[in-house]
Structure 1
């Protein structure tokens, strides 16, 4: 859809489109109310600015909209379309890499209380495993911030895909 079409959507439809890009109700509702946007760039900037104001529960709500990196069964079912496109290279990884990603993600989630979030677009499963290994020892607070930054990257990609120039 074009930016003009997005701007002209009824508020509930704008909220739904935004929620599909970032699974935080507060963020989607607040950003939807900021329309109309005069450019894709202004939408992207406001999206980041707004998510940077999110509290912990809002950030965690956004995280719940993601499949776990390495969860092949989940990728094949609930998140099949978007997650497979975003994590497509995971499906091509070796069984050992997938198992390592899955196990380390389990360890990460047990430690932090939320799944490992990384903008997987353009990254191989091996690259994501290296990133996960480098972040596993971080504090929960550090990882909440890291995850929020990665969520912003993911959201920027999704918003750009939503709005055709």
Structure 2
């Protein structure tokens, strides 16, 4: 992670600010770009408080269109999915998934994850999203199984709340 102990967020230029916050929401730098545009509406100290930044970013996402939210959900990789196998996860996703032991799956577990990912995706139209930091493989599988019967709106809302949890973990990891 990038550390800027001597630089406060309010002192960063636009490119550095967006680069710092671009990965908080997976492959969705538009959230960081809108946060930068809101910067002028707040006192400069505002952006030195991670909780305020988290609230602001969450607000940007919550006020976006359903289409934008769907694109945000679809920007996430499957858990123990093809991106993980091909080594093309973002650094944040890679550390989250390996922290949950998803990089240690047996062939059988991997096949089951791929099957669950496919079933979930074909039912809901976006990947299964879970803030897996601190979770075990078993808890993740239980999450799949308990959420699969949900209706689309329930699962869309749940996926969005998981996305916000992931963002909160990622912001905490920036620890400016």
TM above 0.5? yes
| 8 A contact 1:97–1:125 mirrored in 2 | no
SS in 2 for 1:106: helix
Equivalent in 31, 34, 42 of residue 30 of structure 1? 34
Is 2:130–2:159's contact at 8 Å kept on the other side of the alignment? yes
The answer (yes or no) to whether the contact 2:92–2:170 under 8 Å persists in 1 is no
How far 1:38 moved relative to its partner?
Answer: 4.0
Residue correspondence of structure 1 range 49-128 to structure 2 within 5 A: 49-71=59-81, 73-75=82-84, 76-79=86-89, 81-88=91-98, 89-128=101-140
- Is the contact between residue 6 and residue 163 of structure 1 (CA under 8 Å) also seen in structure 2? no
Contact (CA 8 Å) 1:44, 1:156: kept in 2 or not? yes
Residue in structure 2 matched with residue 14 of structure 1 by the alignment: 17
Look up the match of 1:146: 158
Aligned 8 A contact 1:100 1:129 in 2:
no
1:133 corresponds in structure 2 to 145
Contact persistence 2:129–2:162 (CA under 8 A): yes
SS of 1:87 mapped into structure 2: helix
Gaps of 5+ in 2: none
TM (norm. structure 1) is 0.86
The one of 26, 40, 58 equivalent to 1:48 is 58
Structure 1 gaps of 5+ residues are none
CA distance in 2, matches of 1:59, 1:124: 27
The answer on whether the counterparts of 1:135 and 1:143 sit within 8 Å (CA) in structure 2 is: yes
